[in-house]
Structure 1
């Protein structure tokens, strides 16, 4: 049993999860990340002292295996950032029932199961560190819906609702909040037409980058008087 009090970041090997892992290590936190596929970033993170665990949250067995590893290794947690995500859509050649099941497992069941399983570890972390946090990475579409990613949007809405329920369950020892990004960064394969259309959806017409998400995470981790709330990172998209 290791006596560190880490912050877990699911899906921490790329994009926003990776940026958060690096930033939190630089701030002196012990960090654990999960990853689904091996990436060059894993070597870099391990060199920085990050505990990297391969995990697949698209099935109950994958979730349970990860929980067992954490419970065997740690006796307290400073927080969990539920960042792992899947972006499949109805336009792909996937059976609708399989698509919804996968979205629900990754975005709802895995956070739900982990939050319950780690209650004692989070409570212990709160006592030892003065505060513990659960952060759910939801999405702008949880509120507005999506005609192209229906199952994805529904599952992110489920995750957003978990924020309220777990905030009630775990107060006052554990704060539970959400971050709901819209566009933060493009993928390299996104063409110019798509990029312009996406930029025009918000008032600020920006690709702000992952650091805006990192700043939101740091704010929640430092804030002591907010729970059951959502920080919206959408550039004013809701007003367009």
Structure 2
């Protein structure tokens, strides 16, 4: 995979950081797209920025011009893109009675519009590469992949996370629609639906015994997942081992969806 290039949005921290590290270990050259310049630059240096193996690009995925710049920087650095991990995301607490319009718009802008903007530009770049080289569809399926980061909350709702749940449900449908459109080119599109993962979002939970007990009560495996476990799925979906998979969502949730217990 040494000639393959991966973009990871929200790649400076959490699941995105783990995905960037894992794909780098797999031999990818990586673009770390994030708004956190300090963390992004440090990770790029760690992953071989001085050896032209990694590059940080500051990017607000909700802004079209920022996404255009991301693609320009990617082409300038590596001249191509083969895999996208569409991961940038935010949350805003609020149910249908008290969620502020501005917070709803902000979550939609990053978690849904942002996924669309980045995926659209990456898809166009991939199609151009395939058509320029005349690559056979069967060969393209082993090279090109788009991985959208969904959630168990695409299916299992939380009352005070209305905006987040709505975006993740939409991401599952977007994944299917994209997969159908891009299948003829050999570009595969799948999603990952994590359960409770040990990221910054859950730090407050880890420090709250009552909140942690609630999560454990709905997680049959009895523990919070690690970002590396999600990155391992991204690695699989980016590899030729998943060359016959497109339009699906793989859930890694410690058994939570099987229990069908949310609140």
TM-score (norm 1): 0.88
Candidates 147, 152, 163, aligned match of 1:135: 147
Q: Which has the higher mean CA deviation after the structures are superposed, 53-62 or 19-28?
A: 53-62
Alpha-carbon distance between aligned partners in 2 of 1:21 and 1:103, rounded to the nearest angstrom: 23
Higher helix share: 2
Deviation at 1:74, TM superposition (A): 4.8
Please tell me whether the aligned partners of residues 167 and 228 of structure 1 are also in contact (alpha carbons under 8 angstroms). yes
Task: Give the equivalent residue in structure 1 for 2:227.
Answer: 210
Give the Cα separation in 1 of the matches to 2:190 and 2:116.
Answer: 14
The alpha-carbon distance between structure 1 residues 21 and 65, as it changes in their structure 2 partners (threshold 3 A), is: same
Cα deviation per residue 1:124-170 (whole Å; 9 max; x = unaligned)?
Answer: 26948742000000111111222011011101111111100000010
SS at 1:118 equivalent = helix
Question: What secondary structure is seen at the aligned counterpart in 2 of 1:189?
Answer: helix
CA–CA distance in 1 between the matches of 2:114 and 2:78?
19
5+ residue gaps, structure 1, are none
Q: 2:204 aligns with which of 145, 167, 189?
A: 189
**Alignment of structure 1 residues 129-208 onto 2, 5 Å:** 130-172=142-184, 173-185=186-198, 187-190=202-205, 191-208=208-225
Change (3 A) 1:36 1:157: same
- After TM superposition, the structure 1 stretch with the greater mean CA deviation from structure 2, 147-156 or 180-189, is 180-189
CA-CA distance at 1:174 after TM superposition: 0.4
Partners of 2:116 and 2:161 lie apart in 1 by 22
Give me the whole-angstrom Cα distance separating, in 2, the residues matched to 1:183 and 1:214: 14
Query: TM-score normalized by structure 2?
Result: 0.81
Q: How do 1:1-240 and structure 2 match up within 5 A? A: 5-40=4-39, 42-47=41-46, 48-49=48-49, 50-71=54-75, 73-90=77-94, 96-123=100-127, 124=129, 127=135, 130-172=142-184, 173-185=186-198, 187-190=202-205, 191-222=208-239, 223-240=242-259
Q: How many residues align?
A: 235
Q: How far apart are the structure 1 equivalents of 2:44 and 2:77?
A: 19
Q: CA RMSD in A?
A: 2.3
Query: Which piece of structure 1 moves more, 172-181 or 119-128?
Result: 119-128
Deviation at 1:72, TM superposition (A): 5.1
Structure 1 residues 10 and 44, CA, compared in 2 at 3 Å: closer, same or farther? closer
Question: Alpha carbons of 1:183 and 1:163: their partners in 2 closer, same or farther (altered >3 Å)?
Answer: same
